[in-house]
Chains A and B, each alone.
Chain A
Amino acid sequence: MVQQSRLARLTAHELAGLIKDGEISPVEIVEACLERIESLNPSLNAFISITRDRALAQARKAEREIHGGVYKGPLHGIPYAPKDIFATKGIRTTNGSKATADWIPDFDSTVIARLDDAGAVMLGKLNLHEFAIGGGVESGFGPARNPWNLEYSPGGSSSGSGAALAAELIPLSIGTDTGGSVRWPAAYSGIVGLKPTYGRVSRFGVTPLSWTLDHVGPMTRSVVDAATMLQVMAGYDEKDATSVTDAVPDYTAALNADIKGLRVGVPTNFFFDHADSQILQAVRLAIQQLADMGAEVVDVEIPHIEYASGGTLIMRVEAACIHQKRVKEVPHLLEPEVRERVDMAHFYSAIDYVQAQRARTLLMQDMKAIFEQCDVMAIPASPKLAFKLEPDSPEQNTNPKKQGGPPTLQHSRLGNMTGNPAICLPCGFSQGAPKLPIGIMLYAGAFDESSLFRVGYAYQSATTWHQQRPPV
């Protein structure tokens, strides 16, 4: 029998097994998570809203259903919390902004509806960088903090998701990723984050930041859980014009730990040129681990990687279209970064925007060529460790959004520019103090999330980085 205090710390896969076998009730799990949230959220600031009563009611409903023989699958009775940018019917959806702090949607976003149909239990809404437009620092509700060290950012913009998962407040979350906002928190917080292929998961009901770059993805503590979540989230949605009709494969079939003969591409240009030495070491060791398990390591090159810098321009222009009315009418309710980025975009021309979209075509061609040479491509998830929320001096501010360094942003932005799927996994920790997570990022060909799950699962079967937890 698992102690209730341990329940919040189990993965969704482990919890599902206990629920299915009748060893534990969804109500006990939800109570355990709520207790941990109430204890730790004051210091982490991961949750903006906690929907305690609703969660307990949902858990009791799941309990009745399961006892009655209606088991909906591996998410039935499992707690989760979305980034507070997903519309939730009857529950306020703040977007991390004072400007929309009181918005209560009368509809659910498609992904929330699908998780609800699968029996998942929502515990509340998670903190984020205001309107998802930055690295997790500027929220109308204050920044979320990294459980590995509270002085550091958990990454953003899905900052609350990173913090809540790492601190074991919840086993599952969903985030959005326009330039890396699922994968940065995964790297900085030591969790798993997946950005699926553009069009694979519906974005209906998610407050947009950039229509052509926005993605929705699962955030978890294990690859198994990410595959399980994507299985439920993925699929055509007529409410999202970019949603694709392609059949959704059985992702769990990829979880077999056999990667013999699988080709792991390692870029010879750019990605390993500017990362911190301890990050390089950890990522190289992870690639060696995959080779030891039978994968074939091959060199690849992305000739146009520098063109990914056009992603910033695309994002700002599209964000300006979305937020310009708000910036004009309620600037006093917005954090400085939203105002600044929207105002700046006015000075970009239509030619600049189309030029950036043409650069994107070249990157897509690069990626198509790469995935004819390999099955997945491995790079450092971020070339830098998590940054301090309140740096001692501007020079020590390593927030990549502030530094504006293309090398940092382009590791993740490549996937938003091309639409290719990418997963981020923990693969080590910094040496000395503070102990901060290091992540590896794997890219795959369009709609080949299965290869990411296959490699990720194999790696987590052979290592224990994902099982290490912060001292909270």
Chain B
Amino acid sequence: MSHYKQNRHTLTRRQVVRVLTASAVTGSMAAGVLQQPLAGITSESLRQAAKVFGHDFNEERLQELTPVMDKDLGKLQAVRDLEIAESVEPAIIFRAGR
């Protein structure tokens, strides 16, 4: 049984490829579509987020990170979607007394 929620709102790249294939969108047109951020992440949205946590990425770095973060979002969402009871505490292990 999967422990992930079934009602995800983001599409995986594989799902998009499947839709494109079914729609007979192929070749360079499909490649163009696939280069678009699937989860709507743009370098601008990363720039805005970075402002919140106080980090200053330059434009070149933001361009590099955008597709990587876009690809990573599905995995991150999977962690966010884990169903965990309120009674479960984090397993951070630190020893007092040092």
Q: Which residues of B contact A346 (CB under 8 A)?
A: 50, 53, 55
Query: Is there contact, CB below 8 Å, between A357 and B92?
Result: yes
Q: Does chain B have a CB within 8 A of A242?
A: yes
Q: Assuming A343-B57, A344-B68, is B93 touching A307 (CB within 8 A)?
A: no
Question: Interface stretch among A136-144, A290-298, A358-366, A424-432?
Answer: A358-366
A285 sits at the interface (CB 8 A): no
B92 touches A241 (CB 8 A): no
Q: Is A312 an interface residue (CB 8 A)?
A: yes
A260 at the interface (CB under 8 A from B): no
A404–B73 Cα distance when bound, in Å, is 12
Partner of B65, one of A304, A344, A357, A361: A344
Of A344, A355, A362, A419, which contacts B72 at CB under 8 A?
Answer: A344
Contact of A212 with B61 in the complex, beta carbons under 8 Å: no
Counting chain B CB atoms within 10 Å of each CB, the highest count among A346, A357, A404 belongs to A346
Task: Please determine whether A360 and B90 come into contact, CB atoms closer than 8 angstroms.
Answer: yes
Shortest Cβ distance from residue A342 to the other chain B in the assembled complex, whole angstroms? 11
Is A356 an interface residue, CB under 8 A from the partner?
Answer: yes
Shortest A307–chain B CB gap in Å is 6
Residues A355 and B80 in contact in the complex (CB < 8 Å), given A304-B3, A309-B75, A343-B61: yes
Contact residues, A224-252 vs B (CB, 8 A): 238, 241-242
Q: What B residues does A309 contact at CB under 8 A?
A: 75, 78-79
Contact code string B60-98 (vs A, CB < 8 Å = 1, else 0):
010011001101100110111010100011111111001
Q: Is the CB of B90 within 8 A of A241?
A: no
Interface residues of A in 323-378 (CB under 8 A from B): 340, 343-344, 346-348, 352, 354-362, 364
Q: Which residues of A contact B76 (CB under 8 A)?
A: 313, 348, 352
Number of residues on chain B facing chain A (CB within 8 A): 32
| B contact residues around A303 at 8 Å (CB) | 3
A128 to B2, CA, bound (A): 36
Closest to A310 in B: B79
* Contacting residue for A357 out of B2, B61, B90, CB 8 A: B90
Name which residue of chain B comes closest to A351, CB basis.
B80
A340→B71 CA distance, assembly (Å): 13
Q: How far is the CA of A344 from the CA of B76 in the complex (A)?
A: 11
Chain B proximity of A45: nearest CB distance (Å): 28
Interface pair B90/A362, CB less than 8 Å apart: no
A198 proximal to B (CB < 8 A): yes
Say whether B91 contacts A364, CB under 8 Å: yes
Q: A111 vs B48: C-alpha distance in the bound complex, in angstroms?
A: 45
Listed residue (B2, B46, B50, B82) with the most chain A CB atoms within 10 angstroms of its CB: B82
A346-B53, A357-B91, A360-B90 known; A310+B82 contact, CB < 8 A: yes
Q: Does A306 touch B at the CB level, under 8 Å?
A: yes
How far apart are B50's CB and chain A's nearest CB, in angstroms? 7
Q: Least Cβ distance of B66 to chain A in Å?
A: 11
Interface flag for B49 (CB, 8 Å): yes
Complex Cα gap A241–B98 (Å): 7
| Chain B minimum-CB-distance residue to A316 | B72
Please judge, given known A-B contacts A242-B95, A304-B3, A346-B50, whether A313 and B79 are in contact too, CB under 8 Å. yes
Cβ–Cβ < 8 Å partners of A347 in chain B: 46, 49, 53, 69
Query: In the complex, which residues of chain A have a beta carbon less than 8 angstroms from the beta carbon of B69?
Result: 344, 347
Q: Say whether A307 contacts B75, CB under 8 Å.
A: no
Q: Are B90 and A361 in contact (CB under 8 A)?
A: yes
B50 — nearest CB in chain A belongs to which residue? A346
A241/B94 in contact, CB under 8 A: yes
Contact of A354 among B50, B55, B90 (CB under 8 A): B90
B57 CB contacts on chain A under 8 angstroms: 343
Asked if A306 and B3 make an inter-chain contact with CB atoms under 8 angstroms apart, the answer reads: yes
Residue of A nearest to B92 (CB): A357
- Determine the distance from Cα of A313 to Cα of B88 in the docked complex, in whole angstroms: 18
In the docked arrangement, what's the CA distance between A360 and B68, Å?
Answer: 25
Q: Mark A400-430, 1 if CB is under 8 A from B, else 0.
A: 0000101000000000000100000000000
Shortest CB distance B30–A (Å): 16
Residues facing B in A196-212 (CB within 8 A) are 198, 212
Contacts of A307 in B (CB 8 A): 3, 82
Q: Mark B31-67, 1 if CB is under 8 A from A, else 0.
A: 0000000000000001001100101010001001100
Cross-chain pairs A/B with CB under 8 angstroms, 16 sampled:
A212-B91, A212-B93, A303-B3, A304-B3, A306-B4, A307-B3, A307-B82, A309-B78, A312-B75, A340-B65, A343-B61, A344-B65, A352-B76, A358-B82, A361-B91, A364-B91
* Beyond known contacts A312-B75, A347-B49, A352-B80: 14 more, CB 8 A cutoff: A212-B92, A212-B93, A238-B98, A310-B82, A340-B68, A344-B72, A346-B55, A347-B46, A355-B84, A357-B92, A361-B89, A361-B91, A364-B91, A404-B71
Shortest 3 CB-CB distances between A and B: which pairs? A357-B90, A360-B91, A361-B91
Could you tell me which A residues sit within 8 Å of B by CB distance? 198, 212, 238, 241-242, 303-304, 306-307, 309-310, 312-313, 340, 343-344, 346-348, 352, 354-362, 364, 404, 406, 419
| B interface list, Cβ under 8 A from A | 2-4, 46, 49-50, 53, 55, 57, 61, 64-65, 68-69, 71-72, 75-76, 78-80, 82, 84, 88-95, 98
